[in-house]
Amino acid sequence: MAKILILGATSSIAQSTAQKLAENGHDLILTSRNTEDLNTLKRDLSIRHQIDVKLKPFDALDFDHHEAFFSNVVEETGGLDGILLMYGAMADQKVAETDFEASRQMIDVNYTSAVSILNIAANYFEKKRHGIICAVSSVAGDRGRKSNYIYGSTKAGLSTYMEGLRNRLHEKGVQVMTVKPGMVDTKMTYGVVKDSPLLADPDKVGKDIADGIQKKKDVLYTPWFWLIIMLVIKLIPEKLFKRMNL
């Protein structure tokens, strides 16, 4: 049994992942801005799986209080075994091209806040020489496309950060896993992606994440076929790629 902190616990993917981790007997500390959904999730997990579930307030953009937040969680739980960063923001690409505030919100939520809180977590687990650090990035970060390159660039930054963290913490016995989902049927993609055969169920993605942690994966494409799709896309020469309507 491990004690795992989930940041952004009320997203569809996070809820599915929490159910799978709870099935495996892990105690959970959940955070979200949506306290009503968080309380509902806590009751469901506690009753269904008989695990200890705690709720903690967390503001991803309140960088000055991340250190105190993490220290408080560690003190109240007696020590953490893992942290999952599962929140994100995606604004409309066309809006973000002309409104820097929309771009900056994605940068701050998807990248700056991740670096802030995961730096603290990394130092903690490095001292323990044990732990799991997992963050949900995106296949959108694998190559810039005109349809979502601002969002994709924030995820590319997160993926590179996680890669470096994995390189740093490998010899310390800390697992660092980057999750790269493709299109998932969530509130974030509602109205953006319609009737695509590539649209994945959040429960499938949540199960893949829980299994990936157990199997100590480094990078997880979910569903699996995105590994093949992105491998092909990354191999397209730039001279041809820039002419494509993607």
Lowest mean pLDDT among 32-36, 119-123, 145-149: 32-36
Distance CA 124, CA 100 (A): 34
pLDDT at 155 (0 to 100): 98
Per-residue pLDDT for 100 more than 80?
yes
pLDDT at 33 (0 to 100): 82
What CATH number corresponds to the domain at position 189? 3.40.50.720
Categorize the per-residue pLDDT at 128 as very low, low, confident or very high, splitting at 50, 70 and 90.
very high
pLDDT at 188 (0 to 100): 65
Considering its fold, how many domains does the chain have in total?
1
Per-residue pLDDT for 220 more than 70?
yes
List Cβ neighbours of 98 (8 Å cut-off, separation of 6 or more): none
Categorize the per-residue pLDDT at 191 as very low, low, confident or very high, splitting at 50, 70 and 90.
low
| Contact (CB, 8 A) for 107 and 60 | no
8-30 in b/e burial notation, b at 16+ Cβ within 10 A? bbbbbbbbbbbbbbbeeebbbbb
Q: What is the pTM of this model?
A: 0.93
Categorize the per-residue pLDDT at 193 as very low, low, confident or very high, splitting at 50, 70 and 90.
low
Categorize the per-residue pLDDT at 67 as very low, low, confident or very high, splitting at 50, 70 and 90.
very high
pLDDT at 35 (0 to 100): 82
Cα 76 to chain centroid distance, Å, stands at 24
pLDDT at 25 (0 to 100): 95
Select the more confidently predicted residue: 188 or 154: 154
Q: How many C-beta neighbours within 10 Å does residue 156 have?
A: 20
Residue corresponding to tokens 């100590």: 216
pLDDT at 196 (0 to 100): 76
Categorize the per-residue pLDDT at 194 as very low, low, confident or very high, splitting at 50, 70 and 90.
low
Per-residue pLDDT for 190 more than 90?
no
Note down the domain range covering 11: 2-242
Categorize the per-residue pLDDT at 197 as very low, low, confident or very high, splitting at 50, 70 and 90.
confident
Mean pLDDT value across residues 77-85: 97
